[in-house]
Amino acid sequence: MVERAIAEERAVIVQLDFGREDLAEQLAEVRLLTRSAGAVVCAVVQGRRHSPDAATYAGKGKVEEVAAEVAAHAADLVIFNHELSAGQERNLERTLQCRVIDRTSLILDIFAQRAQSSEGKLQVELAQLEHLATRLVRGWTHLERQKGGIGLRGPGETQLETDRRLLGIRVKLLRERLARLERQRGVQRKARGRGELLNVSLVGYTNAGKSTLFNALTHAGVFAADQLFATLDTTTRKLWLAEAGHIVLSDTVGFIRDLPHSLVAAFHATLEATAEADLLLHVVDSASPARDDQIADVNKVLAEIGAADVPQLTVQNKLDLTGLPPAVERDEYGRIWRVRLSAVSGDGLPLLREALAELALAKTRDLQELRDSRARTAGAAAQDVDRILDSDGSS
């Protein structure tokens, strides 16, 4: 498990360019991730490469530049905004003489700080342990074969094998606990489904304003802040709409570019609610210059969790920063596909309520049409049976 120091850590960020165009957005994001983790960015080292170096990812010359920055700023930590292999991480720590973590470890650490519910903590621990399992390869000198004295010699067990065995036992236990919680969630979702309410999940890039919008609609008091992954635990509330009655609204964890697969797998039970929703409110930070890329990243994760086919309503948030007026936009068929609003100021919230009411009423009509169709089918089948019985009796 990742241990965090009590004092604020000083970090050097390493960002390499492999030909992507959104380098500035990547750098701004890793700065915010670092601050969200509780560290201070004291230097940034950038460079351009055609491909990662097999041994150190950045190459010998760039590693020397990083070492100089570490010494100059007395840094405690080097953060690569990339995914490092276990070997690269060890080689870098040996050369730089300080801790080195990659983007995945950084995000896992933030999740560990943010998790509040027992389920959230279990999910984060599972993701951390599965990530740690890839690092248990001759990482420390104590992981050598245990040597015994007289009467103690034998095949023994390496410390590495012991660590792996204990880690495997803990991972199995966590998966069993999460499986039980997932079954409980399934029962709760079925109960809500029997109520025939419109089930809506808020999704979007982290820090797009989902929790702020959720609070503005439901007054739930969910923690919201200008930081990445401010909240992890799913919160569900009923929302009353004057035109359509109650709907069910859920606030979920935010997504991010290159979200670690271990986190997606660990949070499967939480994210499953998104895949089973009737409608996704895709909240977008309209003030972000990288909003199109963020939309694509969110849709990529939605596809990974099986929610690609769930209908979406785009909510362009933070109009208070863009100066655009609130509005409802429809497609060529007259269906609502985007609402512009500001969750902070409240401008446009009535438009979103009206849009949700329209969609909830549409679901009610669809269910009624389905019932009527089934009733007609059942009635026709009953008439067929009667005709058969009558014909048998007459014969």
- Residue, of 235 and 1, whose pLDDT is higher: 235
- Of the pLDDT bands very low, low, confident and very high (cuts 50, 70, 90), residue 11 is very high
CATH code 3.40.50.720 for 7-100: no
Whole-model pTM: value is 0.74
pLDDT at 139: 43
- Of the pLDDT bands very low, low, confident and very high (cuts 50, 70, 90), residue 149 is very low
Cα–Cα distance between 274 and 258 in angstroms, integer? Answer: 19
pLDDT at 144: 43
Nearest to 201 by CA among 272, 98, 299: 272
Binding residues for Mg(2+): 211, 231
Binding residues: 204-211, 229-233, 251-254, 317-320
- Of the pLDDT bands very low, low, confident and very high (cuts 50, 70, 90), residue 329 is very high
CA distance readout (Å), 200 to 207, 281, 304: 19, 7, 19
Scanning the structure block, which residue is given the tokens 């859920």? 250
Q: Read off the pLDDT of residues 63-81 as tens digits, 9 standing for 90 and up.
A: 999 999 999 999 999 999 9
- Is the pLDDT at 251 greater than 50, yes or no? yes
pLDDT at 162: 75
Q: Read off the pLDDT of residues 203-233 as tens digits, 9 standing for 90 and up.
A: 999 889 998 999 999 987 766 666 666 666 6
Domain pair 7-100 / 193-366, same fold: yes
Q: Which one-letter DSSP state was computed for residue 53?
A: B
Contact (CB, 8 A) for 44 and 27: yes
Question: Could you tell me which CATH class the domain 193-366 is placed in?
Answer: alpha beta
- Is the pLDDT at 155 greater than 60, yes or no? no
pLDDT at 31: 92
Supply the mean pLDDT for the chain.
Answer: 81
E strand map for the chain: 9-17, 39-48, 77-80, 99-101, 199-204, 235-241, 245-251, 279-285, 312-317, 327-330, 336-340
Domain boundaries, the chain: 7-100, 116-138+159-192, 193-366
Sign of CA dihedral 232, 237, 241, 246: positive
pLDDT at 152: 41
Binding residues for GTP: 204-211, 229-233, 251-254, 317-320
Percent of the chain with pLDDT over 90: 38
- Of the pLDDT bands very low, low, confident and very high (cuts 50, 70, 90), residue 271 is confident
